[in-house]
Chain A
Amino acid sequence: MTDHAAPGPRPGSPRQAQDLRLSDVRKSYGAFTAVHGIDIDVAAGSLVSLIGPSGCGKTTTLRMIAGLEPLSSGRITSGAVVLSDGALSVPPERRDMGMVFQTYALWPHLRVADNVGYGLRRRGMNRTEVAERVRQVLAIVGMDHLADRYPGQLSGGQQQRVALARAVASQPRILLFDEPLSNLDAVLREQMRFEIRRLQQELGITSVYVTHSQDEALALSDRIVVMESGRVVQSGTPTEIYDRPRNAFVAGFIGLSNILDLSSASLNGGVLTGSYHGTPVMAAAGALDRAGGGMRRISVRPTDIRIAGPDAPAKTGVNRLPGTVASTVFTGGLVDTFVAPDADPHALIRVQSAPPAPAGQGMRVTLEFDPARSVALED
């Protein structure tokens, strides 16, 4: 075990990316446990998002990685370096990390250049080296023309760029993001999302990104870790998480989902067959290895359902649910159609399609969806 986080190579010079591993990391405050022994592996140079509703422990986890919060137990390591081992912890200033805060946390009494250069000075670079590196980094985020401003004179988006520049200036071993885009408006958020991704990939810095926005997580990440109540519910690539949600929570949190309850379910060769209030329905078994007493739930994405006429001919291998359109909502790029299925008239199944609306209120329709795009859930 090396005994402390080495300062690493001179800031500014390219370096070998290091991985980051959390093993059985637990955090409790008195009787309340915020994080229940989680394991997360971040491959060298990749970006992993922690996503979940507020209070799920994602920010606490990030702060433990930064060294701002002591662990109750568990280990955090990066490469050969142990960052935290139980209550023992390398202090934040010796962890060689960069962090972008939700509020940006730019120091209001320092000019942009001094904000960005602060960490470089602390790492022992001389004035001319710092000035040169600050200029480079500000140019990367397109802020070099505002180096002499104070943070209070910048817009939200500009502050965000400075915060980003400050975090990457010293070529840190690990880059941490704490909901960095939540204070920006929608257009800027999307633009910054791509910029963060581009910068992270260009620099190849191992990164952890905390967010509660599924759009950000899906667009940015190499892998997504979904958390709920201090536990990891599922982790995987964005496509895996979206296409194969493990349970109803993940299905509902990452993307929209219709959850259908099936009875008399049986499992056969990777296909789950069951009855939706009397109508036979099939779904991909996913990670499921047993039918679970006949009661099962499946998830179907609204965009995976097609609306056909009431008399459309049955096709083999396609699930069919006849029903009546309860309402339609036009939201710009998409039309939401809510259909009450005959099998369970109290339920509403949501369908999303490109405009124009495929059917009007009160019309009889048939919903068609592919069993391969319907996923059996664990709970």
Chain B
Amino acid sequence: MTGARGIGAGGWSRAVAATMAALLAVLIVAPVGAIFLSSFYDGGPSLSAYADFLTDRRMLAATLNSLAVATGIAALSVLVGVPLAFGVARTRMWFRGLVSAAMILSLISPEFLLAMGYILMAGPNAGYANQALRAVFDLSATSGPFDIFSLWGLIFTALPNGVAFVFLALVPALANMDPALEDAARLKGASPLRAVIDVTLPLMRPAILAGALLAFATSLAMYGAPEMLGIDVLTVAIREALLGLEFSTASVASVTLVALSALALGLQRALLRHGDRYRVLGGKAFAARRLDLGAATHLLSALAFLYVMVALILPYGTMIAVSAMKSIGNGFSAGNWTLQNFVVVLGDPSIRQAVWLSFWLAAVTATVVIVIGVLTAYVILRTRLRARSLLDYASILPLAVPGTAIGFALIVIYLNWPGNLTGFYGTAMILLVAYLARFIPIGVRNGQSGLLQIAPELEEAARVSGSTEFGALMRITIPLMLPMLVYTWLLVFILAIPELSASIILRGFGTQTVATSLLSVWNGNGGLAVACAYGVCIFAVVSALFLLAALVGRRSPAIRKSIFGGG
């Protein structure tokens, strides 16, 4: 019998699976492998790099700093994020909408913008908040009381990002909880608050922990804020080592970083998977009641107000104000205002070049990522090929690999044979490869949640009606996934434009991206006010695009559940 074959394992889907496997191998498995292999190589197999690392005080300090910062952020995120999530999901606290908006903004807005705002506010000498406090309390000191250039300063700077992870993991869990669980406690004599403490919070433990672990992992991976604040964490140490051509040091630092994030993310996944005991959703959507906590409600309102001010309005407000100042030293005074900084940003040819490159990189990355995402998700969910779980694991691997480590890995690959034959090193192509590796997980995850919303019968009906497997995908599945695909494209685009941690390692002389060029303006060759104007432009573009994405997202129930794929 000619043309006979098994279903869902036809020649077409086999070819797709093979292509995706090859792409993921080149884009993801090779770099991750390179990190590990290079750490064991010193003219031959060797552990000398590890021995050197363990005796290098600077590296040990960087590791401890990374751990301290990530742990501090995770712990404080829970402390701040849990009451805010509870306030938004379950009480009549004020500022609920503002708090949610601040959370989303701190996830989509690049970390270095917030760092700029905090440095301008809390720099020990010239920070506006420090100046104001010294004036109000009539202090004679010339610095303080805040010093943002410290471990605590870094924790504070990255906190909004961590809080957002806890918040976004917790709000849906709280909002979907069956109110009968609390009612049962009330009938047994518990007060409303008692019921929350005895029943609700224990049920939320996996969601809280999952959020905290996500905050931990992303804090390990951040590069911009510690670099700007001068804190020596692992990501910064990797770059320093590379600048000093100490490849073996960089490789062990990368392995350490990847191992720590993988541990945190592995735990997080395990928590979410084995959450049956804590399952509060019986497949039925509940609308949890809002509790009346009396005066305590406004303790939460005060916290919410403080949070929105500190995490959103003050830092971004300061950045916006500074972007319109003639002289930073003259501060908030009459006659110190100008739009000249924006004219400089818009007219600068090197900035314009960086913006074009970032837009090109982001557009190509987003497009390739959704194609790879849809096809990989299709192989994983719709075929019975044995390789599909391998594709699943490979595609989420980069989540555990910070951009700095990916940057390092690509240097190793594209400087050595056979990667050097491509000639990618030092060109925009190596940036593209890095961006693809970083953002493929978003494509595959969103592709999977989009595909899960489409009943397989819709494709089967098309098959029975005479469509080939490919025809059914193109005419039925893809059109139905369209809102999800547009949303994912925009999301990747937004995240790719200000990509910093891999770009700073891989950029060449002619390949500055938006983030690296902003950092060099900030670090001296343009002035802080111009850097702020540049930052305001980035913030405006990113926010506008996210608004667009959110509008698209309204059209698909799958999207509302999978924002950022976290939680």
Which residues of A are interface residues toward B (Cβ below 8 A)?
Answer: 1, 3-4, 66-70, 82, 85, 87-95, 97-99, 101-103, 105-109, 118-119, 122-123, 166, 170, 176
Who on chain B is nearest to A85 by CB?
A: B1
* 26 contacting pairs across A/B (C-beta < 8 A): A1-B1, A67-B7, A67-B463, A68-B460, A70-B6, A88-B1, A88-B4, A88-B5, A89-B5, A89-B7, A91-B10, A91-B463, A91-B468, A92-B463, A93-B464, A93-B466, A94-B466, A98-B464, A99-B460, A101-B457, A101-B460, A103-B457, A118-B465, A122-B465, A122-B467, A170-B466
Is the Cβ of A119 less than 8 Å from the Cβ of B465?
yes
Contact check: which of A67, A89, A109, A118 meets B462 at CB < 8 Å?
Answer: A118
Q: Are A105 and B3 in contact (CB under 8 A)?
A: no
**Other-chain contact of A4, B2, B455, B468, B476 (Cβ < 8 Å):** B2
Which A residue sits closest to B458, measured CB to CB? Answer: A105
**In the complex, residue of chain A having the shortest beta-carbon distance to the beta carbon of B6:** A70
Q: In the bound complex, do residue A70 and residue B1 qualify as a contact, i.e. CB atoms below 8 Å apart?
A: no
B7–A4 touching, CB < 8 Å: no
Contacts of A88 in B (CB 8 A): 1, 4-5
**6 extra interface residue pairs, beta carbon distance < 8 Å, beyond A70-B6, A105-B461:** A67-B463, A90-B4, A97-B464, A107-B458, A107-B476, A170-B466
A-side binding surface: helix, strand, loop or mixed?
A: loop
Task: Report the minimal beta-carbon distance from B383 to chain A, rounded to whole angstroms.
Answer: 12
CB distance from B150 to the nearest CB of A (A): 56
Count how many chain B residues have C-beta atoms less than 8 Å from C-beta atoms of the other chain: 26
Q: Would you call A109 and B455 a contact (CB within 8 A)? A: no
CB pair B466 A122 closer than 8 Å:
yes
Q: Can you name the residue of chain B whose Cβ is closest to the Cβ of A4? A: B3
Chain B residues with CB under 8 Å of chain A are 1-7, 10, 455, 457-458, 460-469, 471, 475-476, 479-480
Nearest B-chain residue to A94, judged by Cβ: B3
CA–CA, A92 to B7, complex, Å? 8
Chain B residues near A85 (CB, 8 Å)? 1, 4
Using Cβ atoms and an 8 Å threshold, which residues of chain B touch A103? 455, 457
- Shortest Cβ gap from A95 to chain B (Å): 7
- Give chain B residues whose Cβ lies under 8 Å from the Cβ of A105: 455, 457-458, 460-461
Q: Does B466 lie within 8 Å of A119, measured CB to CB?
A: yes
Instruction: Check A109/B479 contact, CB under 8 A, given A68-B7, A101-B457.
Output: yes
> What is the minimal beta-carbon distance from B298 to any residue of chain A, in angstroms?
44
- Given A108-B480, A122-B467 in contact, is the A90-B461 Cβ separation under 8 Å? no
Shortest C-beta distance, B202 to chain A (Å), equals: 36
Contacting residues, chain A, for B466 (C-beta < 8 A): 93-94, 119, 122-123, 170
A119 to B467, CA, bound (A): 8
Q: Which residues of A contact B10 (CB under 8 A)?
A: 91
**Closest partner residue, chain B, to A176 (CB atom):** B464
Among B7, B466, B475, residue most surrounded by chain A Cβ atoms (within 10 Å): B466
Q: In the complex, which of the residues B2, B3, B469, B471 has the most CB atoms of chain A within 10 Å of its own CB atom?
A: B3
Decide yes or no: A93 and B3 within 8 Å by CB, A103-B455, A105-B455, A108-B480 being known contacts.
Answer: no
Most buried by B among A90, A103, A105: A105
B461 near A89 with CB under 8 A, answer no
The smallest C-beta distance from B190 to any residue of chain A, in angstroms, reads: 41
Nearest CB of B to A7, in Å: 9
User: Inside 8 A of A92's CB, which chain B residues have their CB?
Assistant: 7, 460, 463-464
B388 to chain A, nearest CB (A): 16
User: Contact at A109–B457, with CB atoms within 8 Å?
Assistant: no
A101 x B479 contact (CB < 8 A): no
Q: In the A-B complex, list the 4 residue pairs whose CB atoms are closest, starting with the nearest.
A: A122-B466, A119-B465, A88-B4, A105-B457
With A103-B455, A107-B458, A109-B479 already in contact, the answer to whether A91 and B3 are too (CB < 8 A) is yes
Contacts of A67 in B (CB 8 A): 7, 463-464
Complex interface: chain B residues within 8 A of A101 (CB)? 457, 460-461
For the complex, give the distance between the alpha carbons of A210 and B115 in Å.
64
Question: Please, which residues of chain A bring their CB within 8 A of the CB of B7?
Answer: 67-70, 89, 91-92
Q: How far apart are the CA atoms of A95 and B3 in the complex, in Å? A: 12
Distance between A88 CB and nearest chain B CB, rounded to angstroms: 4
Which residues on the B side are within 8 Å of A91 (C-beta)? 3, 5, 7, 10, 463, 468-469
CA distance A88 to B468 in the complex (A): 17
Shortest Cβ distance from residue A208 to the other chain B in the assembled complex, whole angstroms: 13
Give every chain A residue within 8 A of B468 (Cβ-Cβ): 91, 93
Considering the chains assembled together, what is the distance between the CA atoms of A37 and B405 in angstroms? Answer: 56
- By beta carbon, the residue of chain A nearest B9 is A70
| A166-B465 contact given A68-B460, A105-B455, CB 8 Å threshold | yes
**Which chain B residues lie closer than 8 Å to A123 at the CB level?**
466
**Distance from A239 Cβ to chain B, minimum over Cβ atoms (Å):** 32
Contacting pair B464 A99 (CB below 8 A): yes
* Alpha-carbon separation in the docked complex, A82 to B10 (Å): 19
Q: Indicate the member of B1, B7, B465, B467 with the most A CB atoms within 10 Å.
A: B465
**Cα distance, A312 to B479, chains bound together (Å):** 74
CA distance A123 to B475 in the complex (A): 15
Q: Which chain B residues lie closer than 8 Å to A4 at the CB level? A: 1-3
Q: A86: nearest residue on chain B (CB-CB)? A: B4
**How far apart sit A70 and B385, CA to CA, in the bound complex (Å)?**
13
Cβ distance A106 to chain B, nearest Cβ, rounded Å: 8
Contacts of A106 in B (CB 8 A): 461
Q: How far is the CA of A166 from the CA of B469 in the complex (A)?
A: 19
B4 near A89 with CB under 8 A, answer: yes
**What's the nearest-Cβ distance from chain B to residue A63, in Å?**
8
Q: How far is the CA of A93 from the CA of B469 in the complex (A)?
A: 9
- Tell me the complex Cα distance, A123–B465, Å: 9
Bound together, the chains give a CA A101 to CA B460 distance in angstroms of 9
Determine whether the beta carbon of B6 is less than 8 Å from that of A87: yes
User: Contact between B480 and A109 (Cβ–Cβ < 8 Å)?
Assistant: yes
Within the complex, the shortest CB–CB distance from A79 to chain B, in Å, comes to: 15
Question: Is A3 touching B461 in the complex (CB atoms < 8 A)?
Answer: no
CA distance A95 to B467 in the complex (A): 11
- Docked Cα-Cα span, A99 to B476, in Å, equals 17
A166 to B460, CA, bound (A): 13
Of all chain A residues, the one with the shortest Cβ separation from B464 is A99
- Which residues of B have CB within 8 Å of A119? 464-466
- Which B residues are CB-close (under 8 A) to A95? 464
Residues on the B chain within 8 Å of A102, using CB: 457
Given A101-B457, A107-B458, answer yes or no on A93-B4 (Cβ-Cβ < 8 Å).
no
A93 surroundings in chain B (CB, below 8 A): 463-468, 471
* A184 smallest CB distance to B (angstroms): 17
Closest to A71 in B: B6
User: In the docked arrangement, what's the CA distance between A122 and B479, Å?
Assistant: 17
A112: min CB distance to chain B, Å: 14
Question: Of all chain B residues, which has the CB nearest A87?
Answer: B6
B480 to chain A, nearest CB (A): 6
CB distance from B455 to the nearest CB of A (A): 6
Please report the C-alpha to C-alpha distance between residue A68 and residue B461 in the assembled complex, in whole angstroms: 10
Q: For the complex, what is the distance from the CA of A195 to the CA of B264, rounded to whole Å?
A: 59
Min C-beta distance of B478 to chain A, whole Å: 10
Residues on the B chain within 8 Å of A107, using CB? 458, 461-462, 476, 480
